[in-house]
Structure 1
Amino acid sequence: MAFPGGNFPTDGELVEFETEEEPKWITVKLKDGSVLQIKMEIVSILRNGNDPNTGIPNYMIQATNIIRLVKVPKELIVKPKKGNEQGGQLYR
C-alpha cells in the first residue's frame, strides 16, 4: 500500500495504480569504467485538484530511484583501513 509523504499536500486524493509493464533498467557507463544500472519505481500517486486554466487533473507522483553498481574497475576500489569504525561489508 502506497502512502503520501514528503511534500505531498494533505488535501489531495491518493489514487490506486498498477504499472502496465515492469520498469526498465537504464545502463550507464561512466568514463572511469564503472557501470551503473538505474530504474525508477513509483511509490504513490496523488490527484490534487484541477488546473484552473484547462480543467485537466493535477497529479503528483512520489517515486524513488533504485541504483545498482554492476561493474567497478579494481583500481577504484579502496581497501578499508584497520580500525575503521564504519563497520559495513561489501555485498553484491
Structure 2
Amino acid sequence: MVFQGGLPDNGEIINFEIEEEPKWVKVKLEDGSVIQIKMEIVAIMKGGNDPNTGLPIYMVQATNIIRMNQVPKELIKKNPAKEKGADGTLYR
C-alpha cells in the first residue's frame, strides 16, 4: 500500500535536518522569461535494504518551488472578465 504522496506505508519515516540551504537555480527561457527553481524536501523514508549491496534504500518526497524572476511585458495577458468571480471577488 502507498501513502498519499507516494511513500509506502511499510517504511520508516526518518527525521532529518537540512545541512545546507537549497540553492535557487536560475533559468532563462527562450521567450525571455527568467524563472528560479529550488527543491524542498518534505519527507524521507527508509524502505529496507538493497538485497544485492545491503545499502539502505531511502525514498525522498520533495516539491519544487518556482518563482517568476522576470517576464517580458508582451507575455503578460490580462482578461478582466475572468479575473473576478460573479460576486466581484477573486474567488470562483
Shared fold by TM > 0.5?
A: yes
The amino acid of 1:38's aligned partner reads I
Identity of matched residues, %: 63
Whose helix proportion is higher, 1 or 2? Answer: 2
State the shift of 1:16 in Å: 0.2
| Alignment match, 1:45 | 44
Paired residue total = 84
List, as ranges, runs of 4+ consecutive aligned residues in structure 1 with deviation greater than 6 Å: none
Distance in 2 (alpha carbons) for counterparts of 1:24 and 1:5? 27
TM-score, L = length of structure 1: 0.84
Distance in 1 (alpha carbons) for counterparts of 2:62 and 2:84? 29
Distance in 2 (alpha carbons) for counterparts of 1:37 and 1:46? 28
| Alignment match, 1:65 | 64
Distance in 1 (alpha carbons) for counterparts of 2:84 and 2:61? 31
Map residues 24-35 of structure 1 onto 2, 5 A cutoff: 24-35=23-34
Distance in 2 (alpha carbons) for counterparts of 1:43 and 1:74? 35
| Alignment match, 1:7 | 6
- Give 3-state SS (helix, strand or coil) of 1:75's partner: helix
CA RMSD of aligned residues (A): 1.6
Contact 2:6 2:61 in 1 (8 A): no
Q: Which runs of 5+ in 1 are unaligned?
A: none
| Alignment match, 2:82 | 84
- Give 3-state SS (helix, strand or coil) of 2:42's partner: strand
TM-score, L = length of structure 2: 0.84
